[in-house]
């Protein structure tokens, strides 16, 4: 990266980390605001340089049309096994019939799977209706983890987990929803990544 200016290196690092975290690129306005730039034209100049030098690819037809070249980004295929309720629990049915492509990162090692969020009880955790969540399969959780929980005869729900004195509290991340208290909860996994559905 010796052929990049310091600002270009900073923008490239920001775009790279943003894509890895969100599976989509930041908008030019977000880049402008992040670095306190005065005009979008300055962002265009830096991005054009990064594209011309092979550090980024760009689809000019899209607002979030920046991509990492294949040699700079590795992906994994994660099985999409069904829908998870962010609200009233629904029957847990696993149907691995398709896969979604996500950027490889250290937190996604091991047995992982994807679910599509249904409902809005977890919006304060950044999980919105239609988003995809990447889950690491495990049967234990720490207080504060967002978990896939099975309750009440095979009903699945997505909530924050808290072990209290005598019961387990499954806490929504939306003040319009009440917490659930159970003496028995089966943990099916802990959320490791959220992928925003922009459609």
Q: What are the angstrom distances between the C-alpha of 68 and each of 23, 28, 45, 52, 107?
A: 11, 16, 18, 13, 20
Give the count of beta carbons closer than 10 Å to the beta carbon of residue 60. 6
Pairing of strands 186-195, 132-136: antiparallel
The CA distance from 168 to 112, in Å, is 24
Question: Known catalytic residue: 121?
Answer: yes
| Catalytic residue (one of 32, 121, 160, 193) | 121
| Catalytic residue (one of 32, 159, 160, 193) | 159
Give burial (CB, 10 Å; 0-12/13-18/19+) of 179.
exposed
Report the first-to-last Cα separation within the chain, whole angstroms.
35
Question: Known catalytic residue: 27?
Answer: no
* Residues annotated catalytic, as ranges: 121, 159
């Amino acid at each position: 990266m010796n052929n990049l200016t310091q600002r270009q290196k900073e923008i490239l690092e920001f775009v790279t980390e943003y894509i890895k975290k969100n599976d989509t690129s930041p908008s030019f306005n977000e880049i402008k605001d992040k670095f306190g730039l005065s005009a979008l034209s300055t962002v265009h100049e830096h991005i054009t340089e990064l594209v011309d030098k092979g550090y980024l690819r760009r689809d000019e037809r899209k607002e979030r049309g920046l991509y990492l070249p294949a040699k700079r980004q590795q992906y994994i295929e994660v099985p999409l096994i069904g829908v998870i309720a962010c609200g009233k629990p629904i029957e847990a049915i696993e149907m691995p019939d398709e896969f979604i492509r996500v950027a490889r990162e250290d937190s996604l090692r091991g047995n992982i799977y994807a679910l599509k969020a249904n409902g809005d009880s977890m919006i304060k955790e950044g999980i919105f209706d239609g988003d995809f969540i990447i889950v690491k399969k495990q049967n234990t959780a720490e207080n504060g983890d967002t978990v896939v929980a099975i309750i009440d005869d095979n009903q699945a729900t997505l909530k924050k987990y808290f072990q209290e004195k005598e019961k387990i509290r499954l806490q929504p991340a939306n003040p319009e929803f009440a917490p659930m208290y159970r003496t028995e909860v089966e943990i099916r996994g802990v959320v490791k990544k959220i992928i925003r559905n922009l459609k």
